[in-house]
Chain A
């Protein structure tokens, strides 16, 4: 089924601002085509996905599928009969077992309840998930969850499949399985993949890039030439930006002697059940160093950071903070150590939502008034995801801890903000802090002193 998008606009309110997420986007996807869409953070990819799946209504412009105007189709019917989608976290419903999730899709497609169960069981068996279909999603691995989500999406024989970062949290093996399944349906089903993963490009028919709400470039896998679609209308982001007046203010500078070893990991092993994540990982990290952890999903980057922060225990090995053996400390003492010495940023930290920004930032509030002005008294839930990510980072930086462990610090930021963050971190490192960040951000990776690939361990 063909997808036609004409002059698509989507605007929304974020605080006092109106954000133009899509600004006159044009796109056509042929019936049966497999299209990959990528682009920097905040470029409008997720917004486009939500518009194609009927969760949002366009502010202006038109989307049609198979000649039908999406505005004329009930969103539930759209998702039931035409468009299936999956996203990074998987879409299995937590209250239903895997079998029940897939069977539900068959039922919605018109099968009887008993027929649905039989078909679901056969489908899961065919894809090697026969042993797990009585389990609930929270009992599955990330890969099993994602495969289950994909099978649920495909059970309805959708005309269009939209996958938003389907391999985002998966290890290589799981990601391979997911892409293999997607590839198997491409051709019969129109597939739109939003991803940075190069595996997707290997079987895609075409790749487009979105920048600032418009299609900017397009290319065909295997071909070197990239077509610039819209050279004048979109805003390119400069490679290097001058500091802006609204940049994050400088943090107070921690005083540490450069090159002093502040963190040491020895022979760390990590296993989840029978599954080995990494083994014999060693690390000596010194003050004034920026270390990037970069490897594919599922290699244990987040877990490593948690081990280094003392939040999680390794299966084997030791961690030293200075001369203090971390694994010897009680949970209480580790918290005390973190309060003094380790700042930790969890991925997507939106744990605090209802208290005001002023209350959340506490004593540093007076220094940050310029940044947020009258919005200081707004609850955190009133800020966008990107702003909250900035706020958390800002908070951690303001606490002046000598060691920072950051999990994907720029994942929710647009390119401009990402560059600002990287500059700040570099400032912080320059003041003598140790920063270890798990990241896919190209800018951060290029500025890091060291890049560690956990998949090698």
Chain B
């Protein structure tokens, strides 16, 4: 009887080959889509790591173990070496690079340099002049100079070091990050760590050892990012216990960001695979319902001659099973092409990765098998008692499928069920309810719809699901485009931004505003100052915000009209020039003090012509203090104030005594005066009213005391975010300015967004911000960033990087856009949405294009009845096409309504109405052409019985 079941199933498949082929093709496409989504998931997850690391400076990308020269012997060093090589072998690729660095050694002329050593130097440098070091002994070591060519050349002879050449590093792992020398300071590199470590001449200098290894991307691919991070954390714990002097640094934030994005991507792709599965099941159930009557007649005929129920059940299962398995076989056969297709889409995954979790696809297909079998016998009285079995089986298989996907959130499981059911139910009801509109207006169309309501409802359901997915996909894509633009604008508010480097070199350390403007004609550069602040009266932790000082003209260059309007708001309300004394070309500055003890240092604060603030300590400890200006303070700098503070020696003694509970070293307090200020012996007139130089009280309890001219400003007007605005009292906020300075601002505008400011911000005039901050800390008011508006950002970027500013962090908005666009999270998600949508479009095309031919065949009796009753062929053709048009309308409207709601709530606020409208027009046009094409031969004269 088993063979009989197969024969009976074969008879059905043979009779309806198109049905079987449709099922096989769609199953194959579904499985291929699922494999492709899997490949995209793998590829994008791997790319996320590379992407996250690529945004870091070279030295911050690697795993670095460092120690401060704690080793007592070479043997101990070798032991550490072996320990690290063994424990890091899985976490790093291509072995560990080792380095040693002695910090800031000064030669006899006071020229500073670093001295370091690496193994296999020749493979890590490019020689620019001279030759590579050949020999290195503890008393005489040849070295290569890297960097610092613009400054004074070091003379390290006294250390036994001989500079034989100049070069640059080609290995971006060494002497970077915390091992990077200060800007402008050269590093003298010897070949070989062992001999460097044994040189007695450098034994008294502070040194550090480093082991650097690149992140092992293959391990991440193999084990997963989260596991890789866990391995590193485990090693971090281990090394802290095994060797306390060793410190592990690694790009934890970057990898954490990549891990978070990877998790988000995986969830997204799992959801999309669920949607593909839901579409597959919906399609198969619809086809099963189309075949329901036929199969009922078949079963009845077989039952009439006494075919056993078991045979009938087997036949049903086999008949549904064979096309599914055939589809699976097709999918597996074509799957080797998937990596090539992914390559074309700029994803990279091999077959092992694509096949990962393949068994889930089989669970889904068998769940579909159970459902289609269940629907085939649903409502058949002869099978009433057993009808629940396939549905129970399907439920179990679907549960297993969800569980195998790795997502255990009920919310995530609910989505495909809602996706498959809600739009279907709504389109079913809409078609049923709205078809009554034709009841009186077009009886023929009404009859054609209602008599085949099940078929039309199925078509509408598939069209609804496809439209829904299309709306979500287009909204997602539009949302990405918009968010990328916002992200780029957030990163680079104008055309180019120049920021303080990782080694804390500030833009104004290397040049002034005009220097940045002269890089390319027509460019404008604007300084920016950022300070962390909080609102006084609120909890500091909860209310930290960014305090950003900008030049009003820079806001006028922003793209958003709202931001442009702010340029008027933050125009300064009072004079902006910082008061002080211009030293001109003076070479010597003398200050006469009164009642200032020798335990108090006097420091002069100057604003250089570039606009930066610098401080220098006066020599002497008596009443007369002197400062030699030449070579230390540029001419025409402005003396903006004096700072008094305890000498470091007195401070140490006082703190030490306090620590021991003694007050024998008292807190210095008193009243002092600055009696006279002379430049090159010429007394200078400083208004006491302005400077408060006479009889100022002081107390030094570890703090600093400033004497400087009063810089009066009115309460600045600012722009803030909505949350901050809500905390203002009568429109005024009191902000913390650091160093116990509080100041008030008046809220003049509320902005939802300001580039690079985060969620909580206060935007104000940079000059006004500098005024309030400088009261207690003149050194904290120098801009740390420059925003540039330029006619040619690409050219500007090229020039600025080759103009000696290359150590700064420089980014253009164009490049930022490119970078964000290739964010693997967005690219992977977008690609996956499109794969799912393509699958949905194929299904919709199959269902839509087969509707009329199927109707013609299965409703032949009804169509004959109508024709006999006097409905002409052209009316019948029109009625059929209009029924199809109506179904398309229902599908698009319901799908669009649900899709728009879902998109607005969960995907993106950006809705590309134009693209959607064009897509709808294209779909309608295709449907009309298809409808005309399929119906033109219906009811032709030649098809009439007896036609000659």
Residues of A within 8 A of B (CB): 53, 76-81, 84-85, 91-96, 100, 104-105, 107-108, 113, 136, 152-153, 156, 270, 306-307, 309, 311-315, 330-333, 335-336, 338-340, 344, 346, 349, 351-355, 359, 362
Contacts and interface: CB of A to CB of B under 8 A. Distances in A.
B302 interface: yes
B224 interface: no
24 contacts: A76-B308, A93-B298, A93-B302, A95-B11, A104-B302, A108-B307, A153-B305, A311-B864, A311-B944, A311-B945, A313-B945, A315-B946, A331-B872, A335-B873, A339-B869, A339-B871, A349-B865, A351-B861, A351-B862, A354-B451, A354-B453, A355-B450, A359-B446, A359-B450
Contact of B941 (A100, A156, A330): A330
A269 B15 CA distance: 35
B659 interface: no
B944 A152 contact: no
B939 interface: yes
B780 to A, nearest CB: 82
Interface in B258-279: none
Contact of B306 (A81, A136, A270): A81
Contact of B4 (A107, A339, A340): A107
Interface residues of B, number: 47
A398 to B, nearest CB: 12
A154 to B, nearest CB: 11
B865 A352 contact: yes
A250 B308 CA distance: 52
Which 9 pairs of residues, A with B, have the shortest CB-CB distance?
A: A80-B306, A339-B870, A313-B946, A79-B306, A351-B865, A335-B872, A93-B301, A332-B872, A95-B15
Contacts of B870: 335-336, 338-340
B652 interface: no
A317 B940 CA distance: 22
Most buried by B among A81, A92, A94, A331: A331
A80 B307 contact: yes
Contact of A94 (B15, B873, B941): B15
Contacts of A351: 861-862, 864-865
Contact of A96 (B11, B451, B868, B941): B11
A311 B309 contact: no
B308 A312 contact: no
B937 to A, nearest CB: 13
A312 B946 contact: yes
Interface in B613-671: none
A95 B12 contact: yes
Interface string B279-309: 0000000000000000001100111111111
Nearest to B859: A351
A96 B14 CA distance: 9
B867 interface: yes
A104 to B, nearest CB: 7
B443 interface: yes
Contacts of A315: 946
Contacts of B872: 331-333, 335-336
Contact of B305 (A108, A346, A349): A108
A346 B946 contact: no
Given A333-B872, A355-B451, 14 more contacts: A76-B303, A93-B302, A95-B14, A104-B8, A104-B305, A306-B945, A330-B941, A331-B873, A335-B871, A352-B447, A352-B451, A352-B862, A353-B451, A355-B446
Nearest to B861: A351
A336 B869 CA distance: 9
A407 B446 CA distance: 27
Nearest to B871: A335
Contacts of A333: 872
B799 interface: no
B947 interface: yes
Contacts of B875: 335
Interface of B: 3-4, 7-8, 11-12, 14-15, 297-298, 301-309, 439, 443, 446-447, 450-451, 453, 861-862, 864-865, 867-875, 939-941, 944-948
Contacts of B446: 355, 359
Contacts of A353: 451
Given A77-B306, A113-B4, A152-B305, A100 B873 contact: no
B585 to A, nearest CB: 103
Q: Which of A77, A152, A344 has the most CB of B within 10 A?
A: A344
B750 to A, nearest CB: 61
Contacts of B861: 351
A81 B450 CA distance: 43
Contacts of B944: 311-313, 331
Nearest to A314: B946
A166 to B, nearest CB: 15
Q: Which of A104, A152, A362 has the most CB of B within 10 A?
A: A104
A80 B868 contact: no
A104 B308 CA distance: 12
A93 B946 CA distance: 27
A54 to B, nearest CB: 9
B596 to A, nearest CB: 106
Contacts of B301: 91-94
Nearest to B16: A95
Given A113-B3, A315-B946, A331-B939, A94 B297 contact: yes
B376 to A, nearest CB: 14
Nearest to A335: B872
B948 A313 contact: yes
B305 A91 contact: yes
Nearest to A92: B301
Contacts of B4: 104, 107, 113
A142 to B, nearest CB: 16
A242 to B, nearest CB: 34
B6 to A, nearest CB: 10
Contacts of A156: 305-306
Contacts of B864: 311, 346, 351
Nearest to A362: B443
Contacts of A152: 305
Contacts of B8: 104
Contacts of A79: 303-306
Contacts of A335: 867, 870-873, 875
A312 B865 contact: no
A100 B11 contact: yes
A313 B947 contact: yes
Contacts of A306: 945
B307 A309 contact: no
A333 B15 CA distance: 36
